[in-house]
Amino acid sequence: MAEAGSFAEKVKQQADIVRVIGEIRPPEKGRAEFQRPVSVPPGKDPSFQCASVKQMYYCFGCHEGGDVFSSS
């Protein structure tokens, strides 16, 4: 995790994860986060979530997540 006030933290604040991912595929507004169904595997339930407060994303379908710098 980036330290408060570090260069990485400043980039994260300016490159909002919701906006970055929204350029690829616009998310739908969920309860507390932005979410949407993923296309692989196809489904109707929102399994991809993107949290603007935490600046992180996670897919419950493929178990991938990360921030604007990295993914797991």
**C-alpha–C-alpha distance, residues 61 and 67, integer Å:** 17
Going by C-beta distance under 8 Å and a sequence separation of 6 or more, which residues neighbour residue 58?
Answer: 48, 49, 64, 65
Per-residue pLDDT in tens (0 to 9) along the chain, 72 residues: 556 678 887 887 788 887 777 777 766 666 556 777 666 656 666 677 888 788 888 888 788 898 888 877
Taking the C-alpha atoms of residue 34 and residue 24, their distance in angstroms, rounded to an integer, is 14
Q: Could you tell me the domains of the chain?
A: 7-66 (3.90.580.10)
Rounded to two decimals, the pTM is 0.63
Look at residue 44 in the predicted model and tell me its pLDDT.
65
pLDDT at 32: 54
